[in-house]
Amino acid sequence: MFYKRVNSGYKQALEGVQLKTLVYGDKTLCTEFRLEKGSKLPRHRHPHEQTGYLVSGGIRLSIGDKMFEVAPGDSWCIPGDVEHGAEILMDSVAVEVFSPVREDYLPENLV
């Protein structure tokens, strides 16, 4: 699968959080998130391992009982079933890879 960048196709996941699945295969799924300053990703958990990279902006990321100030170029890996959340400190773009594939993030499930 190949993805050519376009500025359309984002879906609202939460208030201030838009996502677009870029590519996926049998074992991984890659998603771009656009995050608005002041929005929050409530603490949650899921069975998927989640590896991310902050392209731009700034976020405060909690993973388990640890807190991280994330700047552009920083990356993270959240094991499956570990509680995590984020506070968006400035408009941000993050790219994250999930394994196994998040069925709810497949394009046909984002409608």
- Position 111 scores a pLDDT of 54
80 part of a folded domain: yes
7 falls within a domain: no
Q: Output the CA torsion 55→98→37→8 (10° steps).
A: 80
Q: What pLDDT is attached to residue 93? A: 98
Residue 45 lies in a domain: yes
85 beta partners:
62
Q: 109: pLDDT confidence band, cut at 50, 70 and 90?
A: confident
User: What is the mean pLDDT of the segment spanning 71-83?
Assistant: 98
Q: How many domains does the chain have?
A: 1
Q: What CATH number is associated with residue 64?
A: 2.60.120.10
pTM greater than 0.85? yes
Looking at residue 16, its pLDDT comes to: 97
